[in-house]
Amino acid sequence: MITPLEIQNKQFAKKIRGYDEGQVDDFLDRLTEDYENLYRENANLKDRLRVLEDKLQHYSDMEASLQNALIMAQNTAEEATKTAHDKGRLIIEQAEEEAKRIIERSYKKVEDIENQYQEMKRQVYIFRTRFKTLLEAQLETVVTLCEQFDE
């Protein structure tokens, strides 16, 4: 790319029937000034473009980081949900097993109490039978004694 300094320092060969030197110099001065302004503006725009590209890269990096963080958060949430679900299922299974054990113990206690009740009934029956036999024997003895006194 041609620089404003190259335009300003450009020398043309002189010919007999050439252009008016003053007009060419004035034109080159204006051209140099305009070209210098454009050159500066272009340099400024390139600098701004570089800054904007850096910002864009920064925001792109930030977006990628946020996406990664979001994916990690989703994975963590899914894992936490799965863990909670697994723990819940385990708690339910343990509670069901404990309920079965409690029910089994309860049935065993009921069975033991039923056996004790049957044993007590049997012992009461035996006691009543023996007591009845004893009373009958005593009554018979009393009747026999009474008969002996009546005679």
Range name among 3-17, 71-85, 95-109, 113-127 with the lowest pLDDT average: 3-17
Please, are residues 25 and 1 in contact by the beta-carbon 8 Å criterion? no
Average confidence score pLDDT of the chain: 91
Model pTM above 0.85: no
Q: 36 or 91: which carries more pLDDT confidence? A: 91
With 0-12 / 13-18 / 19 or more C-beta atoms within 10 angstroms meaning exposed / middle / buried, residue 28 is middle
CB contact at 8 A, 26 and 5: no
CA 123/CA 7 separation, integer angstroms: 134
The pLDDT, as a whole number, for residue 129 is: 96
Q: What's the confidence (pLDDT) of residue 1?
A: 65
Tokens of 44: 């400024």
- From the CB of residue 32, how many other CB atoms can be counted at a distance below 10 Å? 19
Instruction: Put residue 40 in one of left, alpha, beta given phi > 0 → left and psi -120 to 50 → alpha.
Output: alpha
